[in-house]
Structure 1
């Protein structure tokens, strides 16, 4: 990963603030993401992770501060948010004029044969793969991911993490991944950020060789360090 410089940043935020009533949730967040860099955002429930992602996606007009994200970005939520009255191919093609990009994206996520299916006919994992295909069809330089695997069973989640790794290697997009899962953060990203008390309280480089797995050298020590940063005590 190249060093982050002003010239290669695809996401830049300075002093982002958001309050709900009298309660500040974000209190001056600064964030940089370079082209091709995948960054995890972790923190306790209610720390503002999803709020920050929605702000960067342009979905929260009440936020203040400076933030810039390329127009060529896509968002994947925990819920697939497919339109039930549209077939799979039409869900992928929302806002995309080039139909071939939609069929190519479905093939990349292994669902070329489900293009004419209705969302109700899909499993949870298949529906989330369609959500990723919908994002890919927009050819994004940045993906904004709000716990995209959080609602899946453990085996499907593992398969989706592996799919994400393959897509990232193939397309080279940057991404901000909101997650509660420490192992997921270490498996998939280049840096792990901890959001606490409205600011980025820690920025941990994830310097592990690929392919990664929890039993590989260095993984356990980095996991313990990240848990410490999150305030999770060691199990005695």
Structure 2
């Protein structure tokens, strides 16, 4: 498959602290890759570099111009209505924005203000804003991390539907092992400034934690993260 994201030897230091020390990464067209690692391992730093938001980084990386970023915070402009937030950076015909809102289930909230939206609805708007750009790659920085458990599950399901409909590639930064296994084709572990492990997730979509093979993949991924499943009695799945 054609690579749409490529990074070679990406480095980033903050003063004397080297966070990324030669990261190599490839994402194929239509592939969803989850990026996990401990706190401070550089997950969000790498995503910001790929998004073109950190000019101080060194190394080589290529990302298509048709990419969009969704952060943990929805970052809606409070003085613009929902439809105007979706239209940011989308010149010309607003039909793409209207269609994107319909896809995330908010066709009737186009004229609402961000303050009138719940957390889950605001994050749906953020996804609609990304979709309106017709991206070939989504860069997602813990996009469901600030949501309650039920809303998080619904947003994960929405992501799966959008991926099936659009076929975009994605880099998903997450701290949640189950989320990585539910959504991604591969799960990468970032440690000591480099990609320390690359786990293929050979499960059909849609997925559920009780699917055959899911538990073994969870155990393997937790082991790669240095968090043996036995430490939590087999119940805890975050990092």
| 1:129-187, Cα deviation, whole Å (9 max, x unpaired) | 00000000000000000000000000000000000000000000000000000000000
2:135 matches 1:140: yes
State the match for 1:157 in structure 2.
152
Alignment equivalent of 1:60, drawn from 54, 58, 65: 54
Query: Which aligned pairs between 1:124-203 and structure 2 lie closer than 5 A?
Result: 124-203=119-198
Q: CA deviation at 1:95?
A: 1.4
State the match for 1:26 in structure 2.
20
Alignment equivalent of 1:83, drawn from 67, 72, 77: 77
Whether the aligned pair in 1 keeps the contact of 2:160 and 2:206 (CA below 8 Å) is: no
- C-alpha RMSD of the superposition: 0.6
Q: CA deviation at 1:208?
A: 1.0
Alignment equivalent of 1:16, drawn from 10, 30, 36: 10
Indicate the larger mover: 207-216 or 192-201.
207-216
Alignment equivalent of 1:216, drawn from 191, 211, 216: 211
Distance of 1:54 and 1:199 partners within structure 2 = 16
Q: CA deviation at 1:105?
A: 0.1
Provide TM-score, normalisation by structure 2: 0.95
Is the partner of 2:125 in helix, strand or coil? helix
Is the partner of 2:97 in helix, strand or coil? helix
2:20 matches 1:35: no
Alignment equivalent of 2:87, drawn from 70, 87, 93: 93
Q: CA deviation at 1:30?
A: 0.1
Q: CA deviation at 1:28?
A: 0.1
State the match for 2:109 in structure 1.
114
Distance of 1:61 and 1:203 partners within structure 2 = 27
Is the partner of 1:215 in helix, strand or coil? coil
- Unaligned stretches of 5+ in structure 1? 3-7
Is the partner of 1:162 in helix, strand or coil? helix
Structure 1's consecutive aligned runs of 4 or more residues displaced over 6 angstroms after TM superposition are: none
Count of residue pairs brought into register by the alignment: 230
Q: CA deviation at 1:211?
A: 2.1
Provide TM-score, normalisation by structure 1: 0.97
Is the partner of 2:98 in helix, strand or coil? helix
- Unaligned stretches of 5+ in structure 2? 234-239
Distance of 2:206 and 2:68 partners within structure 1 = 26
Q: CA deviation at 1:108?
A: 0.1
Distance of 2:160 and 2:204 partners within structure 1 = 13
State the match for 2:236 in structure 1.
none
Distance of 1:211 and 1:89 partners within structure 2 = 30
| 1:104-134, Cα deviation, whole Å (9 max, x unpaired) | 0000000000000000000000000000000
